[in-house]
Amino acid sequence: MSRILTAWRWTSLAALTAMVLAVGLDRVFPPPPLAERSIVVTDERGQMFRAFPVEGGRWRLAADLESIDPAFVSALIAVEDSRFYEHHGVDPMAVVRAGFNAIRAGEIVSGASTLTMQTARLLEPRPERNLGSKLMEVLRALQLESRYSKDEILETYLTLTPYGGNLEGVTAASWAWFGHAPDRLTPGQIALLIALPQAPEARRPDLRPENARSGRARILDRLASYDIIAADIAAESASDPIPVRHDFPGLAWHASQYLRTANADGAVNIRSTLDFGLQQQAERLALDAAEAAGPDVQLSILIVENETRAVRAAIGSASRARDGGWIDLSDRPRSPGSTLKPFIYGMAFDDGLAMPHTRITDAPRRFDSYMPENFDRMFRGDVTVAEALQHSLNVPAVETLDAVGASRFAAGLRFAGASPVIGNSADTDTGLAIALGGAGLTVRDLATLYTGLANGGEVRPLVWTADALAADAPGMQIMSAESAGEILNILRGAPQPSGRAPASLTSNAPAIAFKTGTSWGYRDAWAAGIAGGYTVVVWVGRADARPRTGQTGREAALPILFDIFDMLPQQETPREDREPWRLAQETPEPMARYNRDPQPEILFPPDEAEVWMEASGRDYVLAGRAESALRWYVDGRPVALNAAGEPVWTPQGPGFYAVRAVDIEGRSTVSQVRIITPAG
C-alpha cells in the first residue's frame, strides 16, 4: 500500500512539475504575434475605398468571418480540417489516418496538419520541413488553442494564407481575382480559393491558368463527393473562365491616405464618413469637369453634411493621371480670393459696425500704402453692405476689415481651426489683404468655416470617421447665429450663374447661399456654397499655381458647385430657403450709413497719380469726400473756388505737387501728384 501511495505521489509531482514547466515555457516562448495587416478604408457600411499594402508590397487584408461567405468557410473546413471545431489543435484521428494511408500506399498520401497547425506555420515560417519543425507546429498549435477561440484562429489563417504573388488572405485574393469582397462567392470561386493555397505559385490564375483550372476541378469534385454542392453544379462550375487579376479599389485616394496618416489608434479597418455612392459621383463629375477645362487643370472638392459635420465626399484631385494629380490639393494652402468676405461682414454685424442694408461707398480709397481695386477696375459708388457682398466689391470689404481689425480677424480664423498662411503677418497692409485673398487657406479650411456658417456661426472640426460622429468636439463661435443667418440670406441673393433658373422657380429646390473667389493672377478659382443640409467647396486651378488667364471663380468653379448640389440627396427645403432674397425696408438711423472713419478723402487726384497736362494753363477741378465742406491747398497755398463753388487748381508746370484737403474739424489728407506735360 505504501509503495502505491509513494508511486502516486511521485506521479502527481511529476505531472505537476510538467504542468508548471509547460506553463512557464508557454509564457517564456509565446506564439508569435499576428503579422502586420493591410489598412483598409471603407465607408460607413463597409464598402472598400482603398487598401494599403504591408511590407514588401504584399496585400494582407484582415479576414472577418462575418464578412465572408459561409459557404466558403464550410467548404474550407470540409476539405482542410473536418474536425476543426472538435480537436484542440492536433487531431489524433487525422494523424492515425495519415499514417495508415502512408503505410498502405508506401508514400505520404495525405497530411495530418490541422488548420490550427497551418496557422502556426504561417505565423512562424520555417525554412526546412522536418520532424523538428513539425513538432514545433504541434506545440504552437496547442498554444494557439489555449489562447484564442476557434473563430479567431480561423480568421488568422484566412488572413495569412498565401494566394500567389503578393496576395495573402482570402479577402485580398477575392478582390484580386474576382474584383469584390468574399461575402458572395460562386461554387467555382469557392473551389479556386481553396485550391490556390495548396500550391499558390503553381496554380496562379494569371501565370498558370491551366493548373488553376485543374486544381479548381479537383476541389469541386471533392465538394461534390462530400455532398456540399450538387454534382451537376460542380461540373458546370469547372468550365467557368479562369479569372484575370483585378486592381484593388482606388476610390477616395487622397482622403484614404489622410485617414491612414491620422490613424492614431492603429486600426486595421477605418470606417470613414464618406458616402460610397456620392464619392463615386463626385469623382466622375470632377474628372469630366477637369477634362472639359483643359489638359493640365485640376479640381478639389469637399462635400460636408452640415448637421453632423461629416465629410461625405472628398476629392483631392480630379485624376492622378493628370498633372499634379498625386498631390492632395484639398490640403494645400492657396489664395482664397474673396471667399472670406462673408466672415468679415459677419464679424462687423456682431460689432455693430453695419447691417445688411447699411450704405457704404465703393470708391477709390487708400489704406496707408494699400489701395485695393475691384476685379473689373470699376466702382459702384453708394451701395448697401448686402450689395457689396453679393457683388464682391473689394473696397467696402477692405474698409470693413480695417474696422474689424485684420489681426483680430486672422486670429478668429485660427481659433476656428483654419490657419491662414500669411507671408508677413506683422505687416498691416498684408493683413488687410486677407480680405481679397492675401492669405493661404486650404479647401478643408474653407469647408470648415462655411460649415460653421451653416451651423449658426459655430465652427467645429470636420468629422472624417464614423467612430468620431458621436464625439462632441469643442466649437468656436466665429459670429453670432443672427449674423450668420443674415450672411446666408445675403448670399442667397447673389446673382445666379448664367443658364440657372432661380430656386424660387424650381420645385423644392433650395436657394444656394454661395460665394466665389478668384486669386490674384487667376491662379485659383473658388466657389463655396450652402444649401439643402450640405456645404460644398470647389477649387479649380493648376497644381503648380500657374495662372489661367480669365478663369474666375464664377466662370470656372461656380457651375461645378451647382452641378454638385444637383446630384446631392434631396431634402425638404424650408420655405425661407427657397424664396428670393429681399432687402429689409426699415433702417435704424445710426446704421443707415457706414462711416467708421470721418477723415476726409481725396477722390481726384488720387495719391501718387500722374496727371497729363496737355497745354499750359489747364485747370483741374479737385474732388473729395468728407462729412463737412473741404478747404483745399496745393503745396500749402489755398485753392480758389470757381463760380459753382468748386475748387479749381491750375498747375504752374510739370513737376510734383502736394494736394491737401482739410475739413471743418481740421482733419486732413494729402495726395502726392506728378504733373506731366508734352515738354517735360
Instruction: Enumerate residues 6+ apart whose C-beta is below 8 A from 140.
Output: 31, 117, 120, 123, 124
CATH code of the region 601-676: 2.60.40.10
Q: How far apart are CA 18 and CA 388, in angstroms?
A: 88
Residue 557 burial (C-beta neighbours within 10 Å; 0-12, 13-18, 19+):
buried
Q: Is 91 helix (H, G, I), strand (E, B) or coil?
A: coil
Confidence of residue 201 (pLDDT cuts 50, 70, 90): very high
DSSP 367: B
- Classify residue 327 as exposed, middle or buried by CB count within 10 Å of its CB (0-12, 13-18, 19+): middle
Phi, psi of 76 (to 5 degrees): -60, -45
Average pLDDT of the residues in 382-399: 93
Residue with C-alpha cell 493648376?
A: 542
The cell for 330 is 484639398
Inter-CA distances, 67 with 155, 187, 459, Å: 11, 17, 38
Does the active-site annotation cover 338?
A: yes
346-365: average pLDDT: 90
- Please say if 74 is a catalytic residue: no
What would the pLDDT profile of 243-269 be if each residue is shown by its tens digit? 999 999 999 999 999 999 998 788 899
Model confidence at 571, in pLDDT bands (50, 70, 90)?
low
Hey, what's the cell of 60? 494582407
Residue located via cell numbers 477634362:
291
Q: Tell me which DSSP letter residue 559 carries.
A: H
- pLDDT band at residue 320 under the 50/70/90 scheme: very high
Query: How much is the pLDDT for 617?
Result: 86
Q: Quick one: average pLDDT of 102-122?
A: 69
Q: Which of 85-89, 197-201, 330-334 has the lowest mean pLDDT?
A: 85-89
Mean residue pLDDT across the chain: 87
Compute the average pLDDT of residues 13-31. 51
Q: How far lies 603's CA from each of 383, 533, 606, 660, in Å? A: 17, 45, 6, 11
Average pLDDT over residues 119-142: 82
In sequence order, what DSSP letters do the residues of 450-492 get, joined into one string? HHHHHTTTEE---B-BGGGTT-----EESS-HHHHHHHHHHHH
pTM, 2 dp: 0.80
Q: What are phi and psi of 449, to 5 degrees?
A: -65, -45
CA atoms within 13 A on the CB side of 559: 13
**Set of cell numbers at residue 419:** 490657419
pLDDT at 428 (0 to 100): 42
CA 258 → CA 49, 254, 467, distances in Å? 13, 6, 16
Q: Tell me the per-residue pLDDT of 616-673, one tens digit each, with 9 for 90 and over.
A: 889 999 999 887 789 999 998 999 999 888 999 999 999 999 999 998 877 788 899 9
CA–CA dist 117, 138 (Å, integer) = 6
Identify which of 332, 322, 314 has the alpha carbon closest to the alpha carbon of residue 50: 314
Maximum distance among all Cα pairs of the chain, rounded to whole angstroms = 145
Contact in structure between 194 and 79 (CB atoms under 8 Å): yes
Confidence of residue 444 (pLDDT cuts 50, 70, 90): very high
What is the DSSP secondary structure assignment for residue 533, as one 8-state letter?
T
d(CA 406, CA 678): 44
What residues does each domain of the chain span? 1-30, 32-237, 601-676
Q: Residue 628's pLDDT is what?
A: 79
Neighbours of 603 (CB within 10 A): 15
Contact call for residues 398 and 340 (beta carbons, < 8 A): no
pLDDT range class, residue 560, cuts 50, 70, 90: very high
* From 338, 392, 483, 519, the catalytic residue: 338
Cβ neighbourhood burial of 356 (10 Å; 0-12, 13-18, 19+): buried
The better pLDDT of the pair 381, 328 is held by 328
Q: 44, 80, 152, 555: which one is catalytic?
A: 80
Q: For the domain 32-237, what is the CATH superfamily, name and number?
A: Biosynthetic peptidoglycan transglycosylase-like (1.10.3810.10)
For residue 644, CA distances in Å to 387, 447, 637, 647 come to 34, 55, 20, 9
Q: What is the pLDDT of residue 337?
A: 94
Q: Kindly tell me if the per-residue pLDDT of 90 is higher than 80.
A: yes
Distance between CA 371 and CA 398 in Å, rounded?
9
pLDDT, residue 12, reads: 42
Task: Say what the pLDDT of residue 282 is.
Answer: 98
